[in-house]
Amino acid sequence: MKQKQFTQQDAGYSGVAPEGWTETEPGQFGRRETEADPTFLVQAGVPGATVDLVTQLLLPKIGLEALPPSAGRFENGKLIWDLYAVERQDPDAGPTKVDLAFAQGDTGAGGGAYVVLFGTTPDEYDELHYTVFLRAVDAFAPLSAGGSEARTRKTQETTGDVRAEVLLITGENLENEASERVAGLFQARLGLSTACVDLDALDRIDLQDVQLIYFPGGEAGSIRPSEKALRQVRQAVAAGTGYVGTCAGAFIAAEATTTASHVRLGNQTYAFGIFPGLAEWGGGEGTCPFYVHVRHPLVARSSFADEIAPVIRARFVGGTSNLAPSYAEELGHWRVATLDPPAQGHTTGRRAAMTATVFGKGRVFLSGPHLEAQEETYPLLLAAAEWCTGRSDGTTGPPPVVVADVPTQGIAGHFVTCSAAGSYDPTGYPVGFVWDFDDKSPKQHRPEAIHVYEAPGSYTITLTVSTGTRDSTLSRTVRIHTP
């Protein structure tokens, strides 16, 4: 649905409304498809007022004695909105579902309280709640907020503990508008709380309670996380934090990268190493067809599965054209969408444009194309976020099957080689690995692990095979002898 922008200078805000709707009074729009059409959208600002005052004045006008229970919060980078929903009986139009959003700005000059009000019939509510109401809330901006200045200020202040479920990366050479768009989408459609952090501040963030990290596209050759930031993200994902990376955000997630001959990314690339394999960069530009593996559990078990077509057209700007894990093909279940159509006898094409893997206990979804760039591809991005946070998993399921080769003897100063390459999940999810060698050395996260014990003794090697929400553990004692 196309939107038109408008500005109410006296009320101190700008917003959007659907094209073709009639503005009956400043900030008040009606669809007016028929004479009895009850669908409306109202946006208002009251300079110097508080939300409590505006609420007291508004509720009697819409036939309410008090606000209903909260339906959640929505943050658009400029204001934090409290959302409410109620169904009421209109004497003329019949039952109507009404959305309300309130936000408090500065109560001094140039600020105040802000309101977005939307109503329609129950039959149309599900669709218009998102395309009209939440779009209006997302675009609403106080004229005094300074737009990008307010967003920058908020980003710079996001350090230390992050009290949000999703952390979105912003910064120079990154597509900050994409992160903001994804933040609104995750809040509106999944109810996830979000916060943005500048890439330069990432090494000062405590990621312990973050459920998902979103890394947008950008100038891949200019993305320079610090070594501490790289280590923190890697440790967080291995411990269970999800990661969604788009374009450059997918490219830097891999442990190894390569580029097409015509692409120059500078002298150095930085990698999180949470995708255990190779990311190839460079495969053309434009809106291209991508072939979705609709039976992949990330897609098939999502609440958005019915909205995801086998072939989608998505924006592609020369990003990651193939993602290939370095472990054996039998570990599979990693291709979500490909640049090639499925070959005869195969469920997917060859070049993986979108992948799902597990690093340690953290679920990782990487996409070369920009799924956040158009509404038609939102459902697949939302399905990825559901999977990465465990929201699309069933309440029960069998644990992964551990197939491991772990030696019982070894020699100090020599390699001990272990393998879990035959492990798998019966329900079709990809699996990750955590190897603990019981000597305070860093954990390893590949199917195959190679370790050197410095001192003789008896150690317990513990292997955890994980889908991200279901684990299986195997322990073996290894005796390390003197050379």
Where residue 210 falls among pLDDT bands split at 50, 70, 90? very high
Identify the domain containing residue 469 by its residue range: 409-481
Residue 187: give its domain's CATH number.
3.40.50.880
Q: Is residue 50 part of a domain?
A: yes
- Check whether residue 176 and residue 214 sit in a common domain: yes
- Check whether residue 156 and residue 279 sit in a common domain: yes
Residue 120: give its domain's CATH number.
3.40.1000.10
Asked whether the predicted pLDDT for residue 327 surpasses 90, the reply is no
- Check whether residue 101 and residue 160 sit in a common domain: no
- Check whether residue 181 and residue 46 sit in a common domain: no
For position 330, what pLDDT does the model report?
53
Q: Is residue 89 part of a domain?
A: yes
Q: Is residue 178 part of a domain?
A: yes
Residues 349 and 340: their CA atoms lie apart, in Å, by 5
Q: Is 477 exposed, middle or buried (0-12, 13-18, 19+ CB in 10 A)?
A: exposed
> Which of 369, 373, 341 has the alpha carbon at shortest distance from 355?
369
Q: How many domains does the chain have?
A: 3
Contact 324, 402 (CB under 8 A): no
- Check whether residue 369 and residue 343 sit in a common domain: yes
* Domain boundary pick from 357, 388, 419: 388
- Check whether residue 60 and residue 170 sit in a common domain: no
Residue 462: give its domain's CATH number.
2.60.40.10
Q: Is residue 327 part of a domain?
A: yes
- Check whether residue 279 and residue 323 sit in a common domain: yes
For 2-35, write each residue's pLDDT tens digit: 788 888 877 888 889 998 899 988 899 999 878 7
Q: Is residue 397 part of a domain?
A: no
- 338-344 — which CB contacts under 8 Å span 24+ positions? 338/290, 338/291, 338/293, 339/283, 339/288, 339/290, 339/291, 340/291, 341/291, 342/291
* Domain boundary pick from 330, 358, 388: 388
Asked whether the predicted pLDDT for residue 60 surpasses 60, the reply is yes
- Check whether residue 437 and residue 316 sit in a common domain: no
Mean pLDDT of 191-198: 91
For 164-177, write each residue's pLDDT tens digit: 899 999 998 899 88
- Check whether residue 98 and residue 169 sit in a common domain: no
Q: Is residue 88 part of a domain?
A: yes
Residues 406 and 474: their CA atoms lie apart, in Å, by 10
Q: Is residue 399 part of a domain?
A: no
For 226-281, write each residue's pLDDT tens digit: 889 999 999 999 999 999 999 999 999 988 877 654 444 444 456 888 998 888 87
* Domain boundary pick from 124, 142, 160: 142
Asked whether the predicted pLDDT for residue 37 surpasses 80, the reply is yes
- Check whether residue 459 and residue 317 sit in a common domain: no
- Check whether residue 198 and residue 319 sit in a common domain: yes
- Check whether residue 231 and residue 323 sit in a common domain: yes
Residues 413 and 404: their CA atoms lie apart, in Å, by 23
Q: Is residue 393 part of a domain?
A: no
For 386-420, write each residue's pLDDT tens digit: 999 999 987 678 999 999 999 999 999 999 999 99
